[in-house]
Structure 1
Amino acid sequence: MAVGNLALVDIVLSTSLVPGMIKTYIVLDNFVPFKLCLVQMYTYYTFLSLEPFSLCILSYDRFIAICFPLRQESINTNTRMAYIISAVWLFCIVIALYAVTSIPSLSFCGSLEVHSYFCDYAPVLVLACGDTRPQWNFVTALTILFITVPLIFIFLTYMGILTAVFRMKNNQSRYKALATCTEHFILVALFFIPIVIIFCFTFFGIIWNPTVGLVSLSFSSLITPCVNPILYSLKTKEIRNRIHSLLTQRLSVHPLKT
């Protein structure tokens, strides 16, 4: 259930951006109505906020599976996982709704050109006239919350996993336990590193090219959903065997020259 939840979040997250990118860069139509802009902003940030907590749920699932293998079925029941996932979804939906609904109350008296390839919250907020400090303070606090809490939780679960792995006497069991966490660790790194870079540069006022921020945000929003199915499909024995057979045939047809 944890993997399915992450897959759903990845699909909607990438879907909220890709059609707009095609419209902007291929169709060359960069006009977006204000209400549609808010819808895209809400959808994007709802599922962007769901992504780190979905990774937390997955790390919790791995923690229970490795540290309590005999009690996994009784601890991680479908009902309990459904409650956890529902609570996370409700929290993210409400938070994103509150943040986005604060935008229409602002007045826009200057340029309406958003310097981004989608209706990003910060570039839209910059265009507003008047006092926007409450919105900035709320978004900053929210960003810190959505970065630090999941990272701390994932770190603690991995400490528990490593402790359980080092207590195992069988090397094969150790390898199997670590192998189940490899793809999750890669996804965590791909998602959090670009976002942490963006936040640190912005929070500490370091001057840099805004294009770098867009690229970093795109990396977390689009690359991670693309890599996720590849990593988890490689766990399937049939797919691994098929890849191995294709590579073997390729090498037999074109042998390496020495």
Structure 2
Amino acid sequence: MSNSSAVLDPVVFELEGFMVAPGYGPLLFLLLLCNFLFVWAGNGAVLVAVATDRRLRRPMFVLMVNLALVDLLGATAVCPHILMHFLYADRSVAVQGPGSQPISYRSISHSLALLQAFAVHTYGVAVQTVLAAMAYDRYVAVCEPLLYHTIMTPLRVFWLCFWSWFSAFVFIGILFGLHSGTRFCGTLIQHVYCSNRGILQLSCDPTPINNYYGLVMTYTVSTSVFLVTAFSYARILLAVLGRGGLDPVQTRSKALQTCSSHLLVYVLYNLASVIIVISYRFPALAPNIKKLFSILFIIVPPAVNPLVYGLVSRELRSAICRQLNRVAPKRHS
């Protein structure tokens, strides 16, 4: 039920999920499972490579580790529940005990729904703050190469990472702190994962404070990250165009290579986010298509980011290959 006059206590929500045609569940399960495993394999390889290779313990790679952790957080918050939905799309299981009723695999308790929504929204903010920190790092690397190690000290890198995560936790903590005392008169969340908006749509009472805070927070974070990124790349562009030297073409090519991976990741995330916004401007669009678009930002960037950095960064690619070569002989022995 999506609406009711009765206040529910305790609250058990039900995720609507995708409308899966009979026989397609296993195929969709396999496709998403491959994506989820690829996310863990790619980002896990980045984590292991940086942790085991001292040559990679530099600001750029430390920030890559934080981006990998953010990607794992987002994918892990959403994919397992959708996998269960695909695998048991039309099945139910009975709860033990007298008077038990069948509970669908789409069911999720109020606390778990808040936990999933908190993780998803934290991912959405943290990925932007980490990308802003990476933009600053690239600005210093290109515009102040001689002072790079003086500016990007281990302590400053630590504080960049700390504030990237801390700000995300604080912003989202306040958002869900406003849920306190909310009464629910419905259970059906018309989405494939739990979100602040999806949960509050089932509230018995209007929630204007949460709505206004969510809008202001989203605008503030997105605008701030955009301004930091735009400023960094504007300064980088001016520095590159105005830099001469014995081989200006090679200098500009090296600067472009230094920044291309970060810029591509930033554009990819924002493109996936824009697709979500645009899809909701077309009411006639099929619900399944809207739901698919809504999870692109949480399944595509985490899978693509390790490839982008691995292809652009020769050092990271070499470190991962060395780790694979170390593991290969052990498997054969």
Determine the C-alpha separation between the residues in 1 that align with 2:210 and 2:278: 19
Which has a greater percent of strand?
2
The superposition leaves residues 63-97 of structure 1 with CA deviations (integer Å, 9 ceiling, x where unpaired) of 10000001000000111111122122112112211
Residue deviations 1:149-194 (CA, integer Å, cap 9, x gap) = 1111101110011111111222111001101211211111111123
Say yes or no: does 1:224 pair with 2:224: no
Partners of 1:216 and 1:185 lie apart in 2 by 22
Moved more, 52-61 or 180-189: 180-189
Alignment partner, residue 196 of structure 1: 274
Of 209-218 and 164-173, deviating more is: 209-218
CA contact (8 A) 1:147 1:196 kept: no
Aligned to 2:79: 18
Counterparts of 1:43 and 1:185, CA distance in 2: 25
Counterpart secondary structure, 1:85: helix
The amino acid of 2:63's aligned partner reads A
Does residue 234 of structure 2 align to residue 159 of structure 1? yes
Structure 2 residue aligned with 1:214: 291
Matched, 1:48 2:135: no
Paired residues in the alignment total 238
Looking at structure 2, the residues matched to 58 and 92 of structure 1 have their Cα atoms a distance apart, in angstroms, of 16
State percent identity of aligned pairs.
25
TM-score for both structures, normalised by structure 2? 0.67
Aligned mates of 1:148, 1:206 — CA distance in 2: 25
For the structure 1 residues 135 and 199, does the alpha-carbon distance in structure 2 shift closer, same or farther, using more than 3 Å as the test?
Answer: farther
Residue type at the aligned position of 2:312: K
2:182–2:203: 8 Å Cα contact kept in structure 1? yes
- Which consecutive unaligned segments of at least 5 residues does structure 1 have? 241-258
- Which residue in the other structure is 2:133 paired with? 57
CA distance in 1, matches of 2:282, 2:314: 47
Matched, 1:131 2:217: no
Give how far 1:199 is off: 4.4
1:55 CA displacement: 0.6
Deviation at 1:214, TM superposition (A): 3.1
Larger relative contact order, structure 1 or 2 (CA cutoff 8 Å, min sep 6): 2
1: distance between equivalents of 2:218 and 2:289?
19
Matched residue type, 1:16: A
Paired residues of 2:133 and 2:164 also in contact (CA < 8 A): no
Q: Which residue of 2 aligns with 1:4?
A: 65
Residue 32 of structure 1 aligns to a residue whose secondary structure is: strand
The CA deviation string for residues 28-56 of structure 1, in whole angstroms up to 9 with x for no partner, is: 32111111111111122112210011111
Task: Tell which structure's C-alpha radius of gyration is larger.
Answer: 2
Q: How far has the Cα of 1:120 moved from its partner?
A: 1.6
